[in-house]
A and B are shown apart, each in its own frame.
Chain A
Amino acid sequence: DIQMTQSPSSLSASVGDSVTITCRTSQRISTYLNWYHQKPGKAPKLLIFAASRLQTGVPLRFSGSGSGTDFTLTISSLQLEDSATYFCQQTYSAPYDFGLGTKLEIK
């Protein structure tokens, strides 16, 4: 199985800041990586697929990059509504596991 290592596990930032979340995989997965966020009591929502492709309707302040084993999600110009837990998911090979999550708090 492919191991997912997401960092940091939590972070705090202010409105208007930019933050970067990292996801590292235990083997090369090309660009088969998705990013989701989840707000309390809600289902996850797809933000980025194929490492860098923005899902329809997701604000342009979200961006993804990376290939192989190292990936990043960057959120620029943070808004209050970006407060959530962010998960990466590899879809290179089954089982299609997720990272443990990064909890983002907006001050």
Chain B
Amino acid sequence: EVQLVQSGAEVKKPGESLKVSCKASGYTFSNFWIAWVRQMPGKGLQWMGSVYPGDSETRYSPSFQGQVTFSVDKSINTTYLHKSGLEASDTAIYYCARLPFYGSGSRYEYWGQGTLVPVSS
């Protein structure tokens, strides 16, 4: 069974850094792209970008380029979302999702449970 399990909720203060993990199981980790999606409180879904665990290739949405980075640890089947210099506007739920491939026609078949990140002083 394919599963994506994300790290737990983290309360952060402005200026702090964030590292959210997404641990995969039930399939060959290196072979499938992982996307990261942000959902601000009461709002819709925003595609942040995607990472390919096989070679750590990354693609970022222009809206998030330079603001976040993705990394991979193949030894533990885990991808990470990193963000520094947090602001209150970064308060959101962050999701990871698995894609069958990257590019036109792809789809987000499996999702993590989401990681709530409130940022408040």
User: Chain A interface (Cβ within 8 Å of chain B)?
Assistant: 1, 30, 32, 34, 36, 38, 43-46, 49-50, 55, 87, 89, 91-101
Whether, in the assembled complex, B95 has its beta carbon less than 8 Å from a beta carbon of chain A, the answer is yes
Interface contact B104-A91, CB-CB below 8 Å: yes
User: Chain B interface (Cβ within 8 Å of chain A)?
Assistant: 35, 37, 44-47, 59, 61-63, 95, 97, 103-109, 111-114
22 A–B pairs (Cβ distance < 8 Å), ordered by A: A36-B45, A38-B45, A43-B95, A43-B114, A44-B45, A44-B97, A45-B111, A46-B107, A46-B109, A50-B107, A89-B45, A89-B47, A92-B104, A93-B104, A94-B47, A94-B61, A95-B62, A95-B63, A97-B47, A100-B44, A101-B44, A101-B45
A contacts with B: majority SS: loop
In the assembled complex, the Cα of A97 lies from the Cα of B95 at a distance in Å of 14
In the assembled complex, the Cα of A93 lies from the Cα of B105 at a distance in Å of 9
User: Quick one: which of A32, A45, A95, A99 contacts B61, CB cutoff 8 A?
Assistant: A95
In the complex, what's the smallest C-beta–C-beta distance from A10 to chain B, in angstroms? Answer: 13
In the complex, what's the smallest C-beta–C-beta distance from A2 to chain B, in angstroms? Answer: 11
By a CB distance below 8 angstroms, the chain A residues around B59 are 94
By a CB distance below 8 angstroms, the chain B residues around A91 are 103-107
By a CB distance below 8 angstroms, the chain A residues around B95 are 43-44
By a CB distance below 8 angstroms, the chain B residues around A43 are 95, 97, 111-114
By a CB distance below 8 angstroms, the chain A residues around B35 are 96
In the assembled complex, the Cα of A101 lies from the Cα of B40 at a distance in Å of 13
Interface contact B104-A98, CB-CB below 8 Å: no
Name the 5 nearest CB pairs between A and B, nearest first.
A43-B111, A95-B61, A49-B107, A98-B45, A96-B47
